Structures are given as structure tokens and as C-alpha cells.
């Protein structure tokens, strides 16, 4: 496969940096452009960026010149970590001019013809792109991924929805400092776990309630989950369903895909952010403390790396999926 040129939009921020890190040495994608707000455009990336991640800024990136974000970015694929207003201005414009935009931004998440994609969970939502291109007359496309906490919940809950069916979910998040906020509504989860019927998205039908909290953790969102599942399966059946879960990324052996999307731990004091967030290079959801819940049926804790599985890594995996499935042109 030839290498596709990719750009990171909003390259100097926390998530932009994660994109850059994940794209180093990527077998399919070649990082050719970094964009930013006008104020920093024209400067060397290394001169204006405080690098957040261990290991230091890749040397090849430090010397790249930052471009202003425009509709003419020289790249087939654009990974967007733009601020909200810049996303509003440029993502659709870029899709119109033929770019495939993979966005972490909320602007288009709930649009009727924009996939809100978790590659293992709802790969068939990609077919909405046909409708999207037809509706909008675009030669490119926009695919979004959910925010960090929603991805963590949905990834771990997907096999339960598929195997048993969720009736009621009560979730409390304990979000790391490096992550963004959580939406006030439960719509993301229901779109994630819903279906594409060929014409439209049909949300999953369960009831959902979330409490969101910020805690003193650097990276890694933890969520406590209480579920009422159809048929009242035992904790062992729930764990089996999670452990056996595989999706298209695993079938296609995509470069960024974790071998197993969900790791289930048995220790009473796991998962923990520092110990477990980097499981499968930060791309797996780590579940622990699966047990009977006297009131709801099942409860467990799920941890995901909020800026990898919950943000940049999810987008890169989505792009790999669509490239492998032939949705991005040849």
C-alpha cells in the first residue's frame, strides 16, 4: 500500500501532540503537515510547543514549519484536534475540497450523516459516508470519534449490548487532568451502541445516567459502571463476553489496533491509572472488579487512556479502518 499524506490540525496542543506521537513510523501514513492558529504559523514546531509526553518531541517534527489551518492543506487525511470554533470553520471546508477529516472535536458528532465511530464497536456506521457525500456534495468526508469518557464506556459495554442487551446504565467518571470535559447528555453512548439502518442512525434504546468528576490523575479516565442487563447474566458470563470481544480492527490486523480491545483483570485493586492505562500501548480498555450488583445486576470499573484510546488513537484507528475498507479511495 502506498503511504498516504496526513496532516495534524491543531498540532501544538495535548491531543495534537498525541497524534504526532502515534504517527511516528506509521506504516501507512506519512506526516507531512502541521497546522495551527495564525499566531504561531510560520514558526518551527519545536520553537513554539511545550511537549507534554515522555520520550520527548520527535526530532523530525521539531524542525517542521507550522502552517495556518486552511482548506488547501496538502494531505489526504486530516486528523483534527482543532479548538471548537476553528473546527466549525475548517472541517467541512476541508471535506468539501476532498480531504478525509478524522475529528476529535464535538462540532459534527451528532450530525445525522456523520459517523461517530469506534472501530471495534460500530464499524458499519462507516456506510453513512455515502449518504454524507451525497447530501453535502463533498468529495472528502468527516468521521468523528466520541470524547474520552464516552469511548471508554462504550468500548467495554459493546459486547454486553451485543450479547445480552443493556436496559439501564449508571456511570460515574473520574477523569484525568489531561482530558477534556464530558457531555451533559447521554446521546453519544446511545449513538455509539446504536446501528446504521442503511439510511439513518438508530440509537440504542437503554436508559443512561452519568456523573462526571475530575480527579488528581495525570492520564487515564476511570469509570464505575452499574448495569441492568437482559437475562441477568452472571459476572463470569460478562467477563467471558468482554474477553472474547473482537472487532473489524482485530480481523483486519490494523496497525494501531490492540490485540484484545478489552482486558479483564481479576485483582481487587485494579484497574489503576498508573499501572494499567498503557495496556496495549494505551489502546485497550481495562476492566476490573466485575461483580454482582445487588441493585442493578452487574457492576465493574473500566479504565481507558483518555488521550490515546479516548482521543488521538481512536481517530488513527478509524482512519486505518476506512483505508483498509476502501472508503478513502485508492
The count of other CB atoms within 10 Å of the CB of residue 240 is 15
> Interface residues for a second copy in 10-39 (CB under 8 A)?
none
Among the listed residues 170, 242, 264, 302, the single contact to a second copy using CB under 8 A: 170
Among the listed residues 134, 211, 243, 281, the single contact to a second copy using CB under 8 A: 211
Q: Is 148 among the residues known to form the active site?
A: yes
Alpha helices in 193-294 (DSSP H): 235-244, 248-251, 273-276
- Between strands 285-293 and 297-304, the pairing is antiparallel
Give whichever of 46 and 255 is closer to a second copy, judged by the CB atom: 46
Among the listed residues 213, 232, 243, 259, the single contact to a second copy using CB under 8 A: 213
Kind and range of the H or E element at 177? none
The interaxial angle of helices 235-244 and 148-163, nearest 10 deg, is 110
196 binds a second copy (CB under 8 A): no
65 binds a second copy (CB under 8 A): no
Among the listed residues 174, 176, 290, 316, the single contact to a second copy using CB under 8 A: 174
Give whichever of 115 and 273 is closer to a second copy, judged by the CB atom: 273
- Between strands 207-214 and 166-175, the pairing is parallel
299 binds a second copy (CB under 8 A): yes
Q: Is 221 among the residues known to form the active site?
A: yes
Adjacency order of strands within the sheet including 285-293: 207-214, 166-175, 221-229, 297-304, 285-293, 262-264
User: Cell 481517530 maps to which residue?
Assistant: 315
54 binds a second copy (CB under 8 A): yes
Among the listed residues 37, 97, 195, 224, the single contact to a second copy using CB under 8 A: 224
Cα Rg, the chain, nearest whole Å: 19
Catalytic residues: 148, 221
Q: Where does this chain bind a second copy (CB under 8 A)?
A: 50-56, 168-170, 172, 174, 186, 207-209, 211, 213, 215-218, 222, 224, 226, 269, 274-275, 278, 293-296, 299, 301
Amino acid at each position: 500500500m502506498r503511504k498516504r499524506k496526513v496532516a495534524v490540525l491543531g498540532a501544538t496542543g495535548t491531543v495534537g501532540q498525541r497524534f504526532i506521537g502515534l504517527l511516528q513510523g506509521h506504516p501507512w501514513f506519512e506526516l507531512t503537515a502541521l497546522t495551527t492558529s495564525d499566531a504561531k504559523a510560520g514558526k518551527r514546531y519545536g520553537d513554539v510547543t511545550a511537549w507534554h509526553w515522555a520520550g520527548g518531541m520527535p526530532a523530525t517534527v521539531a524542525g517542521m514549519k507550522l502552517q495556518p489551518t486552511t482548506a488547501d492543506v496538502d494531505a489526504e487525511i486530516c486528523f483534527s484536534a482543532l479548538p471548537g470554533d476553528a473546527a466549525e470553520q475548517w472541517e467541512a471546508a476541508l471535506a468539501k475540497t476532498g480531504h478525509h477529516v478524522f475529528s476529535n472535536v464535538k462540532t459534527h458528532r451528532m450530525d445525522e450523516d456523520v459517523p461517530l465511530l469506534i472501530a471495534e464497536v460500530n464499524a458499519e456506521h462507516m456506510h453513512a459516508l455515502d449518504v454524507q457525500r451525497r447530501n453535502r456534495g463533498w468529495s472528502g468526508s468527516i468521521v468523528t470519534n466520541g470524547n474520552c469518557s464516552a469511548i471508554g464506556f462504550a468500548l467495554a459495554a459493546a459486547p454486553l449490548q451485543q450479547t445480552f442487551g443493556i436496559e439501564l446504565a449508571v456511570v460515574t467518571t473520574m477523569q484525568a487532568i489531561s482530558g477534556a470535559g464530558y457531555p451533559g447528555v447521554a446521546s453519544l453512548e446511545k449513538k455509539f451502541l446504536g446501528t446504521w439502518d442503511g439510511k439513518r442512525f438508530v440509537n440504542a434504546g437503554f436508559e443512561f445516567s452519568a456523573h462526571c468528576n475530575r480527579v488528581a490523575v495525570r492520564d487515564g479516565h476511570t469509570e464505575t459502571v452499574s448495569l441492568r442487563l437482559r437475562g441477568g447474566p452472571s459476572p463470569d458470563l460478562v467477563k467471558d463476553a468482554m474477553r472474547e470481544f473482537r472487532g473489524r480492527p482485530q480481523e483486519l490486523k490494523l496497525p494501531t489496533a490492540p490485540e484484545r480491545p478489552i482486558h479483564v483483570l481479576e485483582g481487587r485493586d485494579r484497574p489503576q491509572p498508573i499501572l494499567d492505562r498503557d495496556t496495549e500501548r494505551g489502546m485497550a480498555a481495562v476492566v476490573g472488579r466485575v461483580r454482582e450488583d445487588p441493585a442493578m445486576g452487574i457492576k465493574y470499573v473500566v479504565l481507558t487512556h483518555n488521550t490515546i484510546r479516548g482521543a488521538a488513537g481512536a481517530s488513527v484507528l478509524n482512519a486505518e479502518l476506512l483505508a483498509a475498507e476502501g472508503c478513502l479511495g485508492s
